[in-house]
Amino acid sequence: MSKNIKIHEVGFRDGLQNEKVVIPTELKIRWIERILNSNVDIIQLGSFVNKEKVPQMADTDILFKHFKSNDYKVLFSALALNEKGADMAVESGADVICLGASASNTHSLKNTGMNTSDAVSRIINIARMLTNEGKKVQVSVQSAFGCGFEGSISEEHVLNIAKKYIENGLINISLADTAGHAYPEQVTRLFSAIKSFDENTVLTSHFHNTYGLGIANCYAAMNAGAEYFETAFGGLGGCPFTKVAAGNVSTEDFVHSLNRNNVRKDIKLESFFELSKECSDFLEKTMQSYVLNVGQISY
Amino acid sequence: MSKNIKIHEVGFRDGLQNEKVVIPTELKIRWIERILNSNVDIIQLGSFVNKEKVPQMADTDILFKHFKSNDYKVLFSALALNEKGADMAVESGADVICLGASASNTHSLKNTGMNTSDAVSRIINIARMLTNEGKKVQVSVQSAFGCGFEGSISEEHVLNIAKKYIENGLINISLADTAGHAYPEQVTRLFSAIKSFDENTVLTSHFHNTYGLGIANCYAAMNAGAEYFETAFGGLGGCPFTKVAAGNVSTEDFVHSLNRNNVRKDIKLESFFELSKECSDFLEKTMQSYVLNVGQISY
């Protein structure tokens, strides 16, 4: 098993975007500051998408401006779904630009107004352009494990999208389980297959815990070669354009499980606990994290 | 991966024993009836332990009398921790008698009044006697992955107990994570090691979801050769003599995850949903099962 495990904190994007209360920018800044020095690898500050459709993300450019004025060890990422978003991400100075297309036509149309095939082509064009400019890009297949609207998503279909990414030199690939339908054996099959296409691929997993399988799926992905794990503080989250929106895998729970095996003990869990508690108080909701609620194992 | 996966429902024992309200026997009978024909493999009806210390289990003999009067496909198991309990289990007609000793001295003393070494010897003597009488016996190592009181439990220590079981011809072995401290890599190491001692061992796993790793641990155990999985309807449970008691892995969540891979689709999840909902209403508490609360994936 790879011990080179990286955590990509997506709580400020995928975590907050499903919350109805728009978080004031100053509060977001304070929350982000809580984990700036936590040794987490990447923090996703937001997404450059339609501000009217996703008002929670309307201040993403302000957040980038604020945090790029300093020099942090952590990388900052942003999500974009089209050319305009990608341009804004470049302008913002994002260290990593995450682009994605959904394997589910229905989800793709709801999320971007494009069908899967068009979205994939568009993403590839944008990603190639960004890569040529020297930007670090991650391309994802959303709804890669099933869809709340369409049901089953063919594994062959998902792998064909991944193949297209690889053929275009895009080897930072994420498989995202937008609906939470993934199960461990499927995760193993898909990640192993992509790794077999090109052993140089750098694989990212993104699981939602809708049916309680989030962490089991992370471990299946890890054993199949995934290195990056997108998780959200307090297990917040859910795509606003999916059918049953449920939280991401909790960063605290996943990191705590790694710690049990002496992996990533450098990540400061206490910083995440503080962040999640503050967010929990503000949103007046219980966070979906076991360790946060029970307390960590102390040995 | 083994596809010969068996479910041992322990909700009526490990699930209920931590509930303060003693469930009336007639209600327990009605609840048990809900899953009699669900195609679950084993139902643990209760334990033969000190009735004053664990009043919830005081009617175990009545439950066995009630259900042995008929002929069901499902097997009934009972837990016993000493000679007296084992005698009562035999008398009750239990199909499977589960015996256990804790790898943690502190937990062992609290649970049985004996230290680990004495408890193991005693369990082995009882188990050999029962096996010689033709009874089906399962021997477990409780607190096999860590202890809320003692902290870390040496893997060598756990494996030495398992070795003793095997040397005495006891090959139905369960590792129980009483405190919920297990993590996937540890589960893989311990189950694989026992399988390597004797490939004929029949391995059972029993995980609590204290830190959100229950199902991830089930999959690690499965991949290391475990065939039997002790789970509880609605994720009920927790040992009354452990430090932080938390629920067992939810039967519904685990079976639903197996179903996603076309495994154990014969198990009637609807029966479990009805049971958990009835129990939830009676106990006035939310069950710890994702699928129960969200609804199953329909394809």
Residue B69, domain member (yes or no): yes
Task: Grade residue A3 by pLDDT with cuts at 50, 70 and 90.
Answer: low
**Which of A185, A210, A291 lies closest to B294 in CB terms?**
A210
For residue B183, list chain A residues with Cβ-Cβ distance below 8 A. 257, 260-261
Question: Do the Cβ atoms of B186 and A256 come within 8 Å?
Answer: no
Task: Chain B: give the shortest CA distance to residue A177, in Å.
Answer: 14
Residue B1, domain member (yes or no): no
Residue A116, domain member (yes or no): yes
Which residues have a Cβ under 8 Å from the Cβ of A143 and sit 6 or more positions away? Answer: A102, A103, A104, A107, A108, A150, A153, A176, A177, A178, A179, A242
ipTM: 0.94
Q: How far apart are CA B214 and CA B30, in angstroms?
A: 28
pLDDT average, residue stretch A114-123: 95
Question: Do the Cβ atoms of A212 and B250 come within 8 Å?
Answer: yes
B176 close contact with A: CB closer than 8 A: no
Whether A127 has a pLDDT exceeding 80, the answer reads yes
Q: How far apart are CA A90 and CA B289, in angstroms?
A: 43
Task: Chain B: give the shortest CA distance to residue A36, in Å.
Answer: 25
Specify the number of domains making up chain B.
1
Task: Grade residue A298 by pLDDT with cuts at 50, 70 and 90.
Answer: confident
Residue with tokens 């471990």: A219
According to DSSP, residue A114 is labeled: S
Tens digit of pLDDT for each residue in A142-154?
999 999 899 999 9
Tens digit of pLDDT for each residue in B240-280?
665 666 899 999 999 999 999 999 999 999 999 999 999 99
Give the Cβ contact number of residue A243 at 10 Å: 15
Give CA angle at A182 (A178, A183), nearest 5°. Answer: 165
A219 close contact with B: CB closer than 8 A: yes
B121 close contact with A: CB closer than 8 A: no
Question: Do the Cβ atoms of A209 and B184 come within 8 Å?
Answer: no
For residue B209, list chain A residues with Cβ-Cβ distance below 8 A. 290
Residue B268, domain member (yes or no): yes
Tens digit of pLDDT for each residue in A233-264?
999 986 656 566 689 999 999 999 999 999 99
CATH of the domain at A230: 3.20.20.70
- What's the token pair of residue A133? 């400019």
Q: Which residue of chain B is at minimal alpha-carbon distance from A299?
A: B151
Tens digit of pLDDT for each residue in B96-130?
999 999 999 999 998 888 999 999 999 999 999 99
Say if residues B170 and B123 touch (Cβ distance below 8 Å). Answer: no
Low-confidence stretches of chain B (pLDDT < 70) are: 1-3, 69-70, 238-245
**Which of A218, A295, A297 lies closest to B181 in CB terms?**
A297
Give the Cβ contact number of residue A185 at 10 Å: 19
Question: Do the Cβ atoms of B257 and A183 come within 8 Å?
Answer: yes
Cα separations in angstroms, A112 against A57, A84, A123, A239: 15, 12, 11, 13
B293 close contact with A: CB closer than 8 A: no
Select the residue from B2, B290, B291 to test the A interface by mutation, using most A Cβ atoms within 10 A.
B290
Residue A1, domain member (yes or no): no
Give the Cβ contact number of residue B70 at 10 Å: 7
Q: How far apart are CA A158 and CA B107, in angstroms?
A: 49
Q: Average pLDDT over chain A, rounded to whole?
A: 94
For a pLDDT cut of 90, what percent of chain A falls above it?
A: 86
A192 close contact with B: CB closer than 8 A: no
Residue B299, domain member (yes or no): no
Strand partners, A101: A141
Whether A158 has a pLDDT exceeding 90, the answer reads yes
Cα separations in angstroms, A165 against A121, A137, A155, A230: 9, 11, 15, 20
Task: Supply the range of the domain harboring residue B128.
Answer: 6-294
Residue B93, domain member (yes or no): yes
A245 close contact with B: CB closer than 8 A: no
Give Cα A130 to chain centroid, integer Å. 19
* pTM score: 0.96
Tens digit of pLDDT for each residue in A206-238?
999 999 999 999 999 999 999 999 999 999 986
Residue B184, domain member (yes or no): yes
